[in-house]
């Protein structure tokens, strides 16, 4: 896509608006790149004819003076987000023929802004997984190293941006499913405040935590896409100025297991923010270590309840993958008999405590900083180890329990693979955390 003279979605939109490039040319180049790197397996469905028809219509509209924020910009969409007339499989054989008759709210907003849906991105089946190995349509291979996972469950969306197949993508994040693959693939992944973006039309299984999120190559594009999806048009541009900002680092974050490369990258990130005028303060979130366990209990229980509604219309459960069945079994155990009181209610109490602790910590600072994952992307097949899975999710799940916005930005590397730093903000502080992200990613 760089052959077309742009480096970001914002620049591409501007070039299309002023006639320097046509939407047809932008879509054509994206489709060519998708074909050339098809081995990555980022897409379940490529909307070639639909995208070209939309691009031709947009080019005609531009000539008559009609332009939207994302006019002509190709976007990849995670395959659990409903698209009218286009298959929405949730990466499951159970939904292999499901074609929605209406668009999800976020798709309607994208179309209104002039964006073009280029394809439906691969994912872990029904968003159960953190490696994109649990898809009925095959594993997604990391664009940086094809032997490594792209992360999950929104791995196809993140990897499509990393591979320059598209400038923007959307996914969903329940316990880290945007932020973790963003870190593994070396892109920016934003999980907004819970409820900031309408989830209508998302085939979700954990309604109390799941949130539509964004993937982009920089923080400016993340703000642009978030503004479109949330309807919160922000006239302010990111300037990366963090002078006078206070960044909190919880002592529990530093006590968590992580590789030396992750530790060094995190230390370097705090130093860079200090060099740019921010101050670093120590805070505490004592229940941090209980967050992942509480998340698994609550998310499995919610998923069982949601899935019961799905299988009333799609009863062929023999088509489901093993990971989905395992999660359903876990949820059923959580909700059965005495386990409900011993597990679910205790996990719900932990969630309440974590929410209060994060809120209290953020009263002392403008944002919190921590790693995204404890390692870089793991080898395909390696994340099936429960310990490795824990290292991928422990920094992410507590933020979802608290309902706070967080962004993963690329920072540092491990054996040539990208690492990420997570910036956690107060509710509805997406602009602030993205601005800190811009400061960290500025060269």
Q: Which residues are catalytic?
A: 78, 153, 177
- The answer to whether 33 touches 76, Cβ cutoff 8 Å, is no
The tokens describing 397, both together, are 């799940």
CA-nearest of 368, 179, 392, 375 to 258 is 375
374 in helix, strand or coil?
coil
Q: CB under 8 Å to 89, separation ≥6 — which residues? A: 44, 45, 79, 95, 96, 98, 120, 136, 137
Separation between Cα atoms, residue 165 and residue 239, nearest integer Å: 27
* CA distances to 260, 279, 348 from 288, in Å: 21, 23, 14
CA-nearest of 199, 151, 149, 147 to 172 is 199
Separation between Cα atoms, residue 435 and residue 412, nearest integer Å: 19
The residues pairing with 125 across neighbouring beta strands, listed in sequence order, are none
CA-nearest of 419, 162, 170 to 153 is 170
Task: State phi, psi for 424 to the nearest 5 degrees.
Answer: -110, 130
């Amino acid at each position: 896509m760089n052959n077309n003279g742009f480096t970001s979605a914002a620049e591409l939109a501007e070039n299309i608006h002023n006639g320097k490039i046509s939407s047809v040319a932008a879509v054509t180049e994206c489709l060519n790149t998708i074909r050339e790197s098809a081995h990555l397996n980022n897409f379940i469905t490529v909307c070639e004819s639909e995208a070209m028809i939309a691009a031709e219509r947009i080019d005609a509209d531009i000539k008559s003076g009609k332009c939207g924020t994302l006019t002509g910009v190709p976007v990849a969409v995670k395959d659990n987000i409903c698209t009218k007339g286009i298959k929405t499989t949730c990466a499951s054989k159970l939904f292999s023929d499901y074609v929605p008759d209406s668009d999800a709210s976020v798709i309607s907003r994208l179309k209104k802004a002039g964006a073009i849906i280029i394809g439906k991105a691969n994912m872990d089946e029904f968003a159960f997984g953190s490696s994109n190995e649990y898809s009925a349509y095959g594993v997604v291979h990391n664009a940086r190293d094809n032997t490594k996972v792209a992360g999950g469950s929104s791995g196809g969306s993140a990897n499509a941006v990393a591979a320059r197949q598209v400038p923007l993508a959307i996914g969903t994040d329940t316990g880290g499913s945007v932020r973790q693959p963003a870190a593994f693939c070396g892109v920016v992944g934003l999980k907004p405040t819970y409820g900031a973006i309408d989830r209508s039309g998302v085939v979700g299984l954990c309604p109390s935590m799941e949130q539509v999120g964004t993937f982009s190559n920089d923080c400016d594009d993340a703000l642009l896409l978030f503004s479109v999806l949330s309807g919160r048009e922000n006239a302010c541009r990111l300037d990366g100025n963090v002078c006078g900002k206070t960044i909190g680092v919880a002592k529990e974050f530093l006590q968590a297991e992580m590789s030396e490369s992750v530790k060094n990258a995190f230390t370097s990130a705090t130093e860079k923010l200090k060099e740019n005028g921010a101050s670093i303060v120590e805070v505490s979130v004592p229940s941090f270590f209980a967050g992942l366990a509480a998340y698994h209990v609550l998310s499995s229980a919610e998923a069982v309840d949601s899935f019961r509604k799905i299988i009333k219309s799609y009863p062929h459960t023999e088509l489901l993958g093993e990971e989905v069945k395992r999660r359903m079994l876990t949820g059923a155990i959580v909700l059965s008999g005495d386990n409900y009181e011993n597990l679910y209610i205790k996990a719900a109490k932990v969630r309440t405590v974590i929410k209060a602790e994060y809120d209290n910590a953020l009263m002392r600072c403008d944002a919190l900083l921590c790693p995204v994952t404890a390692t870089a992307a793991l080898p395909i097949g390696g994340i099936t180890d429960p310990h490795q899975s824990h290292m991928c999710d422990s920094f992410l799940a507590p933020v979802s329990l608290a309902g706070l916005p967080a962004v993963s930005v690329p920072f540092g590397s491990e054996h040539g693979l990208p690492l990420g730093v997570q910036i956690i903000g107060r509710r509805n502080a997406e602009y602030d955390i993205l601005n800190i992200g811009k400061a960290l990613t500025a060269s």
